[in-house]
């Protein structure tokens, strides 16, 4: 699991389960592209405050377990990740463009879920009551 991130005025542990489907749900991601995507994510982690705890891929969608800071909303983080990864994947693997017409790698949609570290929904409900 992720560790707390300490900043000057806050301490956070914000983790998200994100799923990004490929455009047209095309089966494009193989082992080579999946491993290339993981390398791109390492580079993103070095530049931005987004830490990839786990990355999983299937041929037509990608799963990310990420930890971030409060200054990145889920939609901002999603936009940034999709933009950087798509651009880098197209540069590194130009053959992808032949399978995905229109110049888009990702669909416009995504799935996001928060990940609890210390508790679940029932524990929080009981605490809030």
Domain that holds residue 27: 5-128
Residues in the chain: 129
Phi, psi of 109 (to 5 degrees): -95, 170
Domain count, the chain: 1
Distance CA 117, CA 33 (A): 31
Q: Both tokens of residue 55?
A: 């990355």
Q: How many helices (H) and strands (E) does the chain have?
A: 4, 6
CB-based contact 107:78 (threshold 8 Å):
no
Instruction: Judge contact between 67 and 53, C-beta under 8 A.
Output: yes
pTM assigned to the model: 0.86
The CATH code of the domain that includes 33 is 3.30.70.1290
Closest CA to 5 of 48, 54, 59, 49: 49
Record the tokens describing residue 88, joined without a space: 């880098």
Please report, in tens digits, the pLDDT of each residue of the chain (129 residues total). Answer: 678 888 888 888 888 999 999 999 999 999 999 999 999 999 999 999 999 999 999 999 999 999 999 889 999 999 999 999 999 999 999 999 888 888 899 999 999 989 887 666 677 667 555
């Amino acid at each position: 699991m992720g560790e707390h991130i300490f900043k000057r005025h806050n301490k956070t542990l914000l983790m998200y389960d994100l799923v990004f489907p490929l455009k047209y749900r095309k089966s494009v991601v193989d082992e080579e592209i999946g491993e290339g995507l993981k390398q791109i994510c390492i580079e993103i982690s070095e530049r931005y405050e987004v830490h990839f705890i786990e990355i999983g891929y299937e041929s037509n969608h990608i799963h990310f377990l990420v930890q971030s800071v409060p200054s990145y909303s889920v939609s901002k983080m999603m936009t940034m990740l999709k933009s950087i990864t798509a651009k880098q994947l197209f540069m590194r693997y130009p053959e992808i463009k032949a399978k995905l017409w229109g110049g888009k790698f990702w669909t416009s949609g995504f799935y996001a879920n928060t990940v609890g570290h210390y508790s679940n929904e029932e524990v929080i409900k009981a605490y809030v009551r």
